[in-house]
Amino acid sequence: MTGDAGDTATLVAQSPARTGFSVRLTAPLLLGSLLNPLNTTMISTALVAIGHHFGIGAADTAWLISVLYLASAVAQPVLGKLADAIGPRRVFLAGLVVVCASGVVGALAPAFGWLVVSRLLLGIGTSAAYPAAMAVLRDEGHRVGRRPPRPVMARLSFAALGSAAVGPTLGGLLVTVVGWRGIFAVNVPVAVVAFVCALVWIPADPPRRTGADPAPRLALDVQGISLFATALTVLVFFLLDLSHPLWWLLAPFGVLAAGLLWWQLRCAAPFIDVRMLAANGPLARTYLRHGLSYLLIYIVMYGFTQWLEEGRGYSSGHTGLLMLPMSVAALVCSLLGARTRGIRAPLTVACVLLTAGAGLLTLVSGSTPLGVLLLAGACFGIPQGLIGTSNQAAVQEYAPAADIGAAAGLQRTAQYIGAITASSLIALAYGQRADDAGLHLMAGVSVVLGVLLVALTVTDRALRRSTA
């Protein structure tokens, strides 16, 4: 009888109401969080079709890449702070509404400019999901009295890495079956399902109050956000036309960057904590390493896929299938990377493979055997899985515990800046058409950057001491 009572008590203690973090709670969070990384890569196999439809070249379609990253680079940390201030459920749901609007605009776009607007809205809307999800899990942890379990956090990370990895393959399938407009339209049903599930399964936001103050505390550095967004926009305009550089843009960029630094050093609650970064070398190097790594990854994600279609003559569907080994390798290695205790070893392997893959691309041409092309893709898929999980672990280890949300947002910002730079390099190398010479130029630059990345990793003493 006593044993039965003990078993009953154990079952009650382990029930979802007591343990928290149920499947119903996490399902909409995972669904919403995959939208941003999925859309960053899914469009890669649609760029050529979009360019042909509107009669434009790679230099113009590169804006579809950059505008999403530009919006995301600013919106991720901003929406994370909003989630803390007014409640993550509200921010999560509002973001999904914007995603739906972006899908409709893109699917019905009568001109290329409307696609740019669609991607801008998409960058803002999808940026709400990840920081809001982290805040929801934090609130759930407060409710049940324990930290979010590592398997739950791992699934959130896997959703981002996995969706980014399968993006090119899914994009190629959509372009083949329904045309390039399907790349935009597919966001609508996914966002609607995530919205309904979140509305039903995510608990209402707890009150955001401090002491006797009944109003939520909203300390957004509006000036810092405005300066950062403007400076980054000016930089993007300069980078996207490197074949005919507008050198005069560097002057306002320098003024804006100096103004941003000046303001961040004087602001009580800065958008970017410059003092913390200056004093935290391991974290700053993590951001640099993460941004540089994704610069190389996205050169292949966008540049190699465009070359496969225009330089090699494959269809969008075939290109997506050719990128499948890269996607599978990224998925498998993201799981393996999450299981490793150290950071330095998987990062070193990833950096070496990025450099080797870039070197292999310097040798490919229109007559290169298919097996070599598949190998080149795999060389970039393995690092994609290892780098994402390893640098996330580095941020968790080196960032101040009280500022982990802002630190994670800046990691995403570093990733987006790397992606913006990659799209600029692609536009410079290809111009109006993706050919062998342009691919070789990108690959050569990537080899140099890869060597630098290896050096940054193996000489980082903080990584040698890390056991995260």
Over the stretch 417-431, which tens digit does the pLDDT of each residue have? 887 788 778 878 887
pLDDT in the model for residue 210? 47
Output the pLDDT for position 87: 84
Task: Determine the angle formed by the axes of helices 35-42 and 187-201, rounding to 10 degrees.
Answer: 170
Distance CA 414, CA 171 (A): 25
CATH code matching the domain that covers 21-204+267-465, chosen among 1.20.1250.20, 3.40.640.10, 3.40.190.10, 2.60.40.290: 1.20.1250.20
Model's pTM, two decimal places? Answer: 0.75
pLDDT tens-digit series, residues 263-317: 999 988 787 888 888 889 889 999 999 999 988 888 877 788 888 888 888 887 7
The Cα 51–Cα 59 span in angstroms is 10
Write the CB contacts of 294 (distance below 8 Å, at least 6 apart in sequence). Answer: 387, 414, 415, 418, 419, 422
pLDDT recorded at residue 212: 41
Is the model's pLDDT at 398 over the cut of 80?
Answer: yes
- Which residues fall within 8 angstroms of residue 81, CB to CB, at 6 or more apart? 218, 219, 220, 406
Q: Which residues contact 97 (CB under 8 A, 6 or more apart)?
A: 125, 191, 195
Could you tell me which residues are beta bridge partners of residue 213? 210
Mean pLDDT of 38-54: 89
- Which of 10-19, 26-35, 157-166 has the least mean pLDDT? 10-19
Q: Which residue has the tokens 């006593």?
A: 2
Picking from 465, 128, 449, 135, the residue whose alpha carbon sits closest to that of residue 281 is 465
Burial zone of 127 (CB within 10 Å; 0-12 exposed, 13-18 middle, 19+ buried): buried
Q: How high is the pLDDT of residue 405? A: 61
**What is the distance between the alpha carbons of residues 42 and 56, in angstroms, rounded to a whole number?**
20
Where in the chain are the domains? Answer: 21-204+267-465, 224-266
Q: What's the pLDDT band for 467 if we cut at 50, 70, 90?
A: low
The answer to whether 46 touches 170, Cβ cutoff 8 Å, is no
